[in-house]
Structure formats: structure tokens, C-alpha cells
Amino acid sequence: MSILRVTPGKTQDVGDTLGPLVQTLNERRSNLAKIGVETMLALFDDFSRRLLRDPRTQTLEGVMFLSAWLGRRNLEKLLKLNLNGDYRYLDGFVAQGRDYLAAKPHGLAAMWMAGNVPTLPMFALVPALLTKNACLLKVADADTQGMEQLLAVLAEAEADGLSGSQLLEAAAIVWFDYRQQELGEAMSRAADVKVIWGGAPAIRAIRDLSCQEHCVEIVFGPKYSIGLLGRHLLERGSDALDSAITGLVRDIAIFDQRACSSPQTIFVESNSRLGLDEIGGMFADRLDRLPPKPDLDAYTTTRILNVRAQWALDESKDVVASPTQANWTVCMDREASLKEAIQSRTIFLTEVGSWRDVIPLLSPKVQTVGTALGDVDQTLAFADAATDAGVVRCVRPGLMNVYESPWDGKLLINQLVRWVTLKP
């Protein structure tokens, strides 16, 4: 039952039990509590600048957005949104009239990461450290090179006498085979708060692990996202339509549609100006401008070729695809449904009479809608109906993969703290 620990620049075998790691992390909690939030914000700001300069990280997938997200201004905004407008609560009691209020860490945060987005662990690790929780984080993949590089650059960051390597003493990033039930149980039992990202089977398995009675669970489960192009936008045409399609193609290309916020099906309202085939051609043109995918694994390629064949053989459907290899695929039909996500630049354009035909398809399983209706009143009406049905994000195309707070309807940082009171 070997455990691999990911550290700055290397991964090493640390034995077959989590006990020593858990003990060390709990011992480091007191040191972490003494670090001021202002100092951590400055440290992460330095880390954000180093990411784009350092050859070890500057080409990692998603690193440009991660760098922007780590910037001091953005993290301050997130903290204020999550912490009643004042992140001083993280450093101790703040007066509330005659009384006092503080935001204390839960203790040890155990985190299970999904493997679809390489930089995802940082979006969990940073909030947990900012809220002064010690961190035991399990990555999904035994290939840990990207995480090693991120940690190496973080370790070298500095601010106000604090180094990234010192901050990382309160964190342990590990990998072990998910089938090693005893290790999963040990990780769960050690947790004061569990943060879980993953697919439905993984979430069920992790939630079934025994844990302490006071343990808090924060779950980010599997989601499906869509796009919506409205009649007003399509009939008006112009730069707004071009911007919407360009934005949706950007949302498709980032993370190769592996993120839960990537559009899979894009609904198109019928209109008097552009037919579905013409809109499909516009998407094809922009997809064809993207750089070729660096590698195409056999499994994904087979799925893409199968769906191309199915759509081509059905008289009620149509398909446009890249002339060489399986670089991109645009499938078109008029059946109002959520198509199975093939990913890898494979999109489904579905014509509907109205956005109202989409509402019955929505549920809490649908996370984000890239919304381009071309009319403010229609956009507000759609967003009201969509969020009533369970959707949590309606954003303009190009912003679908922008990780923000709240995410999946949750204020993560807020849930990583215990609000405590003092009435002297």
C-alpha cells in the first residue's frame, strides 16, 4: 500500500501509512495560525507572478488563468465575498458592537481531487491555507510532474519574511491507489473537513468512508454545461454574434472540454436569418483556426469517429468535421436533449423554437450556461427560469471556465471556516 508524496520538484515513496503525515500536519496547525492573512496574500501574489516567468510552469495547461486567480486583488475580493466583507476575521476576533466574531479553521482539511484539470489542486489548496487549515490533499493521477513543478515555484515565492516552502510545511500532497480502502479510511477519519471533487462513483465511495462526527463535507460533483444562442442575437448578427461564437469556442478549447463548466451541447433558437447549417459552419471555421491537438488518444478518437458516423448516417442530423484527424467535430440536430459529452472539441448544436424548450432539460446536474440571447429582458427571464431549475451559473460566452466564487452554488472559503463568537 505505497503512498507517494508530492513535494517541490520531486515525488517520493513515504511508506504505507498516513499516520506520521497526519501527526505532522496537526503539529503544524499552531504555526499556520500565526501567519497573517496579509502575508499569505502577498506570498500568493508573488507566486502568481513567478508562474508565468518560470520555465517549469509557464507552459502548463491552465496556468495563465491560475496566475490571474492567485493575484492579490482577486484573492482579496474572494475573501471579502466569503467572509462578511472583512478578511481580518481570519486573524482573530473582530468587534461587532459589544461582541466579537472570528473565522477559525476546521483543523485538518482532507481533499480528494478530480483529474480532469491539471491545476485544480491549487484551487483547493490555496483557499484551505488562507483559512489556516492544515491540508492533506490526494491528487487523482500518479503522474505528478505538473504538481511537482507548481509546488517548486510556490516553494520559492517570498513575502514579508515568509517563504512558500515554510507555508507548505502545513500541507501534504499525496497519491495512492483509490482501491486501497484502508488508506482512504485513514484519510477520512483524520479530517475535520472533507473537500471532494470528482465523478459520481468516486464521490459516493469517499462519502461512505467513516469520519469524525463533527466532520464537514464540501462536495463538487459531476456537472454538465451548455451554451445558448438567442434569436435576437442571431437575427441582428454583427460583432456581438461573432464575439459569442468566439467565446464559446474558447470555452470549448480550454481544458479540451474536460472541465465541468465546458459547453457540450449548444442550443440555437430558430430565426429568420441564419440556418443551423450556417451557424455550424461558423463554429467549424473558428474551431479550424485552433492549433491542432498535441495528441489524440485511441479511446477518445474512437468515440469521436463513432459519433461522426452516427450523425452522418442519420437523415435528420448533420455533421461537419476537421478534414484530417479528429481535431474538432460539430454535430447538428433539432432534438431538444442533452447529448452525451464526448469532449475533445466535439460539440452538439441543437436548434430549438425558443429558450423555453430548454428549461425542462435543466436540473442541478447542469452547472453553467454560456448565455448569449442578445436581449437583456430575455436573458433575465431565462436566467430566472434556469436557476429555478437548478443551474448555478449563467455567464456570457468566454467566461464559462472562469473559476469564481460562488462555484457550484457554494462559497468554498466560507465553508472552510467555523464562525465563533465572543460576548465579554
Give the tens place of pLDDT for each residue, 168-205: 999 999 999 999 999 999 999 999 999 999 999 999 99
331 and 349 in contact (C-beta within 8 Å)?
yes
Give the tens place of pLDDT for each residue, 125-151: 999 999 999 999 999 998 999 999 999
Which of 342, 415, 402, 417 minimizes the C-alpha distance to 367?
A: 402
Matching CATH number, 4-221+408-422, of 3.40.605.10, 3.40.50.12280, 3.30.56.10, 3.40.920.10: 3.40.605.10
**pTM metric for this prediction:** 0.91
Which of 419, 266, 286, 230 minimizes the C-alpha distance to 350?
A: 266
Give the tens place of pLDDT for each residue, 335-371: 999 999 999 999 999 999 999 999 999 999 999 999 9
- Please, what is the Cα angle at 246 between 240 and 248, to 5 degrees? 105
Give the tens place of pLDDT for each residue, 376-395: 999 999 999 999 999 999 99
What is the spatial distance between Cα 14 and Cα 16, in angstroms, rounded to a whole number? 7
CATH topology of domain 224-395: Aldehyde Dehydrogenase; Chain A, domain 2 (3.40.309)
Give the tens place of pLDDT for each residue, 244-263: 999 999 999 988 999 999 99
- From-to residues of CATH 3.40.605.10 in the chain: 4-221+408-422
- From-to residues of CATH 3.40.309.10 in the chain: 224-395
Residue 295 has pLDDT above 80, yes or no: no
Element (H, E) at 11: strand 10-13
Q: Which three cell numbers stand for residue 257?
A: 472540454
What is the spatial distance between Cα 109 and Cα 190, in angstroms, rounded to a whole number? 9
Q: Which three cell numbers stand for residue 187?
A: 484519510
Residue 296 is predicted with a pLDDT of 76
Model confidence at 1, in pLDDT bands (50, 70, 90)?
low
Residue 342 is predicted with a pLDDT of 95
Residue 81 has pLDDT above 90, yes or no: yes
Q: Hey, what amino acid is at 421?
A: T
Residue 274 is predicted with a pLDDT of 94
Give the tens place of pLDDT for each residue, 30-43: 999 999 999 999 99
What is the spatial distance between Cα 61 and Cα 254, in angstroms, rounded to a whole number? 8
Which of 51, 49, 42, 52 minimizes the C-alpha distance to 72?
A: 42
Residue 396 has pLDDT above 70, yes or no: yes
